[in-house]
Structure 1
Amino acid sequence: MDGPTAQLLERRWGAVLTADVVEYSRLTSLNEEQTYLRYKAHRRELIDPMTAEYRARFVKSTGDGILAEFETALDAVWCAIQVQQQMVERCKGESGDRRIVFRMGLSCGNIIADKEDIYGHDVNVAARLQTVAPAGGIAMTDRVAELVGPSLSLPLEDLGIQKFRNMCLPVRVFQCRVLGEVAS
């Protein structure tokens, strides 16, 4: 889209975090109501306050997941790490096959934003990265890793170049496993 209409689009730099519950469908098949209530409690008591603390714009809920935009990659990574570490504590004592465990994807770059949503290549990349993140862990682009690597106390593992469905450009992916990770 060129010309005056394209100028109306709000473009800005942002760090994008996507998260979802590992095996949510399986959990709901075991106990739909209990899974929903536990997920909502984690959102209300941990994720929503943590994203607010790191000055994120909570964009939307995606059923069993979220989409949030941060001003800096460092804020996005620290928020993700804090959520993952606190989830380990919150899930202690729960049966392994009934635990709610998140996986997260992080990307950063230029996004298109409006009041209701964010769009663009880096939003799509974050969503794809979340699908390859380990249970209880975080997958991020090389750009995020480069921006935050020196500030992290956790090691980053280089997963190499990944090709994602319907994306022309491959993405170099790093993952961060949170210490004390809860396996699903």
Structure 2
Amino acid sequence: MKGFTTKAATQSRQQLQHLLELQDDIIKPAIKHYDGTIVKTIGDAFLVTFESPTDAVLCGMKIQENILNHNARAASSDQMEVRIAVNSGEVNIKDEDVFGEPVNITSRIEAIAEPNEVYFTEAVYLTMNKNEIPTAEVGHRKLKGIPEEIKVYKVMSEQTNLIRAKLKREQMAMANANLSKDEINTSGTEKKPEPAPEIKQELHKLEKEGAKELAGNSLLPQPKATKSFWQKHKKKIFIIAFIFLFLLLITIAKEKERLQKEIIETKYPLEQLKEKLPDLKKDVVAALESRDADKIKEIISRLKILSQNLPENSQDDFRNIIEGQLDNPNLKPAQRQELKKIIDSIK
């Protein structure tokens, strides 16, 4: 809330509590409507999470609209202005609290946001539904404690400005409706008092800002920019490249498995495995005693392949060879677990 620190220093506790309750009554229904979760409140600030970035921004827009409507009819002491910032990213959760860089960036964006505005990061812009939210680019900003520049956007505020100007006029009309008799001229017609200078200045500023932003955010006809082949088709290119890489990895894995199986069948042919088991045991012991990670990995891979096609007359001896090495001190826990899985797979 803009100016909350000053209000906290100049108002009584009852006045401050009343203002916070008014803020809760305005903000919490909007959060509930868009399925937000209030993580915590710190004084006048809310930390809220949403499942959808679009809902988060729409909630911010609704809150600003509700506050404008409230301010139009509230006493000056009950009026308020708030800044809203939205970011998206992976956070850490502990004891029902959230923290991490996305939270820190949100806090920094809120600090640079203008009152009555909703600012959000490029991460939100890229994932939200842009058809539901009129957007204006703020630009890249350097934020305290954040190494990279962050690209910032905001909700286009020309609609907000026009609403604000309309509400100001309503306030003036309501004030003029209560003119005293002394303010009526002798001809029987009411005087048309000029608005207070500060109100006139505010109205002029709002309408000027609204017109400026309206002209600067592609609402007027703009020439269409031509896109390069890469810009037109980069999504398809990425998908094709990903599929190609995926198929290549599968092919490599299958070829590796085929070559390994071929080597094993040459050295330990299944039809002669019963006679070859002593040689296999020596190879297993030698690999473990070498403490060479690659050799141990290779011998475990061979044991896996052999275990899948074991003749019945070799199963018990094969199992005994592996069980005899489970206590070998050269085995790492993960390797020992792999050997146990091989034993379990033997029928």
Q: TM-score, normalised by structure 1?
A: 0.78
Q: Tell me, which stretches of 5 or more residues in structure 1 are unaligned?
A: 1-20
User: Could you list the per-position Cα deviations for residues 163-183 of structure 1 after superposition, in whole angstroms to 9, with x for gaps in the alignment?
Assistant: 111111210011223613598
The structure 2 residue matched to 1:143, chosen from 100, 123, 144, is: 123
Distance 1:49 1:28 in 2: 25
Report the 3-state secondary structure (helix = DSSP H, G, I; strand = E; otherwise coil) of the residue aligned with 1:55. coil
Higher helix proportion: 2
Q: Residues 59 and 69 of structure 1 are in contact (CA less than 8 Å); yes or no, is this contact kept in structure 2?
A: yes
Change (3 A) 1:87 1:110: same
Q: Provide the identity percentage.
A: 19
Higher gyration radius (CA): 2
Aligned partner of 2:48 in structure 1 is: 68
Q: Distance in 1 between matches of 2:94 and 2:46?
A: 17
CA 1:147 to 1:93, structure 2 compared with 1: closer, same or farther past 3 Å? same
How far off is 1:96 after superposition? 5.7
Select the structure with the greater relative contact order (CA < 8 A; seq sep ≥ 6): 1
User: Which of residues 83, 86, 92 is equivalent to 1:106?
Assistant: 86
Name the residue aligned to 2:59.
79
1:72-125: CA deviation from partner (whole Å, max 9, x where unpaired): 101101111111101100111446676211101100011111233101111111
Partner letter of residue 54 of structure 2? Answer: L
Report the counterpart of residue 19 of structure 2 in structure 1.
38
Does the aligned pair in 2 maintain the 1:39–1:100 contact within 8 Å? no
Aligned residue number for residue 16 of structure 1: none
Q: What residue ranges of structure 2 are gaps of 5+ in the alignment?
A: 166-201, 203-347
Which structure has greater strand proportion? 1
Q: Distance in 2 between matches of 1:47 and 1:164?
A: 27
2: distance between equivalents of 1:48 and 1:98?
Answer: 17
How far off is 1:29 after superposition? 3.4
| Contact map agreement 1:28 1:36 (CA 8 A) in 2 | no
Name the counterpart of 1:173.
152
TM-score for both structures, normalised by structure 2 = 0.43
SS at match of 1:109: coil
- Say if 2:96 is the partner of 1:116: yes
For 1:64 and 1:57, how far apart are their aligned partners in 2?
Answer: 17
**Residues 97, 149 of structure 1: CA spacing in aligned structure 2 closer, same or farther, 3 A cutoff?**
farther
Query: In structure 1, what is the Cα distance between the partners aligned to 2:12 and 2:84?
Result: 23
